[in-house]
Structure 1
């Protein structure tokens, strides 16, 4: 399914392929900078997640092309069986390939580690397009967890994306080192656009005059596929959350709620009087909660980066993390889902034994999107 403006056969444009809300958030600073400079770009949406509200929130133009029907809610995509997701993936590769060959952009940019990212990298690669003249650009290249299945399928997607890219935009010294170790070419360390996205969103939230929750609070964020699909892991996560003594706010994803109900664990959460379950909110509001929280408890990826922007302690409920830069800052803690260690970390944070050092953010400072626009002139 293609919805577009008139196709311009030109090499002067930039094509940005996005499938999920997380990709949009991290590409948002780049897109806003291009729009502010009146530089033309094509916004290609794979349809993996609904993006309308997020585009409206930040003033990003509507997609020029929508390649598949959006699910009504983001979590519907992963509720489908794996076979259906694979069929979708192959269709999107075909559609991106056909579209990029019509557009003939100078650069095709894709971000991160989703199925849409990998599809864009493969579809625009030299293997499928031997005569291609555009450059493939992977934004957020070089992250590595050390295991193909933690997190899954993201670790596989990001390695595929790095393999088929001409320009690898590394987010840190470590990601640059990872790429050099793999003998990749076209590596440019620029920093992480999440820094720009966080500041833009926080300023937007302040203008909206959102009210801060009363008192100290922990912010909970649980949604990882490899955790949700594992009942034993989810039980362990609930046990860990039971160690939180301070007030806690939990914006609950639909998919997480589904599995908590399925495993009979939602009732356990409801018994914890200090944990308040709230609906998901827009990104600016969520960033506002991060900026004002006591600490974070999460199995997410980008939120580890956001914790460093606002210097908030972060308890990571995973076996492995590809955001290893944060582990050396003294405020990010990889629990490996060890109940005893997680309990000790939460206790230390709540007793104010963990303090944010004056560390230099390993993902850089504001201005990453400006660097990228300059690079892609």
Structure 2
């Protein structure tokens, strides 16, 4: 069977890695990776294919940046021709990006079944483009692979037929378990002159934070005031552009306790998360990675699609982008560091056992076997 995997961003590449390896080695699946070019910066995409030993995509649609409508439309126009030419039997879309939605819509309009990985995640904040993408994708998918009980329940509440839902666990957890030994061997701490558990890791890239000047200033002001605590800040290209535009980059450079670094590879990032005292982020994926690596997290958003991570006190705290709230919660978590870390170590993992990708491959094969009978 011909399976097209449509992806275009760093998180999608990461969460698909184990699945790609398994599907590529399965004689019943002819896998084609289609890169939309949604993330077009080398450090944000190609480096992850290389370090995760993934096969090259068969094509890069090179859609680049643009408004949500422009990006989604460009992907659909270019992908439609490819899927028709390839005669794909199934289109797999991971996550909640514009590439996810564009892949799902294009396929379903061509009457090609859609499989959604990470189905059912909900923040219930329709101002987030990701929330729009995942809801629409779920409702035009034939196979919905959910990572948790909560995600499965969300789909059932929305009236999706239970026979379409397969609770597999989280493919991102599969990848983390497989790649952690390599991550632990990286020299990133040594290169940055850091000791384990002596720093805070900051990442921010979401439009509501980096395109909103007030929010961006608030976040920067908070980390400046957190001195003398060391803050490591890998700067996303989108964030870099806004920091320079707002004159905040120079302000950060003056602060000796803040280490501004370029975006890191997957292994380096995992090492930095594992050895941080605290994470400050607006990334959905990093909330989960911090949870799995037992590092307390503060999310610079008012909502999260990963409610499982906030149920344990101190594991993941939603604070938004107010300077005072960020500082107060950071101080509170660090004052209870041992207690919070102990709770994290003893908490069950609601995201599965690390075999989600294997389950997904098995269900895809079963799906086609049932169609051919």
TM-score using structure 1 length: 0.86
Provide the C-alpha distance between the structure 2 equivalents of 1:340 and 1:62, rounded to a whole number of angstroms. Answer: 46
Question: Residue 46 of structure 2: which of 34, 49, 52 is its match?
Answer: 52
Question: Residue 137 of structure 1: which of 107, 112, 115 is its match?
Answer: 115
Match of 2:179 in 1: 201
Match of 1:351 in 2: 335
Residues 1:210 and 1:233: Cα distance change in structure 2 (over 3 Å) = closer
Residue 32, structure 1, aligned to residue 16, structure 2: no
Match of 1:117 in 2: 100
Partner secondary structure for residue 260 of structure 1? helix
Is contact 2:117–2:144 with CA below 8 Å preserved after alignment?
Answer: yes
For 1:231-278, what per-residue CA distance to the aligned partner results, in whole angstroms no more than 9, with x for missing partners?
A: 111121123223424212111122212211222222332333211111
Provide the C-alpha distance between the structure 2 equivalents of 1:252 and 1:337, rounded to a whole number of angstroms. Answer: 17
Q: Please state how far the C-alpha of 1:101 moved relative to its aligned partner.
A: 2.9
Q: CA RMSD, aligned part only?
A: 1.9
Residues 1:95 and 1:367: Cα distance change in structure 2 (over 3 Å) = same
Partner secondary structure for residue 328 of structure 1? coil
Question: Residue 214 of structure 1: which of 185, 195, 202 is its match?
Answer: 195
For 1:125-164, what per-residue CA distance to the aligned partner results, in whole angstroms no more than 9, with x for missing partners?
A: 1xx23xx3x4210101111111111x3x211111111111
Higher mean displacement: 320-329 or 351-360: 351-360
Provide the C-alpha distance between the structure 2 equivalents of 1:340 and 1:88, rounded to a whole number of angstroms. Answer: 36
TM-score using structure 2 length: 0.87
Partner secondary structure for residue 54 of structure 2? coil
Partner secondary structure for residue 310 of structure 2? helix
Higher mean displacement: 207-216 or 312-321: 207-216
Residue 289, structure 1, aligned to residue 293, structure 2: no
4+ runs deviating over 6 angstroms:
none
Residue 333, structure 1, aligned to residue 314, structure 2: no
For 1:148-190, what per-residue CA distance to the aligned partner results, in whole angstroms no more than 9, with x for missing partners?
A: 11x3x21111111111111111111111111111011211111
Partner secondary structure for residue 160 of structure 2? coil
Q: Please state how far the C-alpha of 1:209 moved relative to its aligned partner.
A: 5.5
Q: Please state how far the C-alpha of 1:114 moved relative to its aligned partner.
A: 0.8
Provide the C-alpha distance between the structure 2 equivalents of 1:65 and 1:279, rounded to a whole number of angstroms. Answer: 27
Match of 2:208 in 1: 226
Residue 315, structure 1, aligned to residue 291, structure 2: no
Residue segments in structure 2 that go unaligned for 5+ positions in a row: 366-373
Is contact 2:98–2:133 with CA below 8 Å preserved after alignment?
Answer: yes
Equivalent residue runs for 1:39-78 within 5 Å? 39-50=29-40, 51-68=45-62, 71=64, 77=65
Match of 1:3 in 2: none
Q: Please state how far the C-alpha of 1:376 moved relative to its aligned partner.
A: 1.3
Partner secondary structure for residue 166 of structure 2? strand
Provide the C-alpha distance between the structure 1 equivalents of 2:306 and 2:184, rounded to a whole number of angstroms. Answer: 28
Is contact 1:47–1:68 with CA below 8 Å preserved after alignment?
Answer: yes
Provide the C-alpha distance between the structure 2 equivalents of 1:102 and 1:59, rounded to a whole number of angstroms. Answer: 27
Q: Please state how far the C-alpha of 1:207 moved relative to its aligned partner.
A: 4.6
Higher mean displacement: 212-221 or 304-313: 212-221
Residue segments in structure 1 that go unaligned for 5+ positions in a row: 1-11, 72-76
Partner secondary structure for residue 333 of structure 1? strand
Higher mean displacement: 115-124 or 32-41: 32-41
Q: Which has the higher helix share?
A: 2
Higher mean displacement: 270-279 or 21-30: 270-279
Provide the C-alpha distance between the structure 2 equivalents of 1:367 and 1:244, rounded to a whole number of angstroms. Answer: 39
Question: Residue 262 of structure 1: which of 245, 250, 253 is its match?
Answer: 245
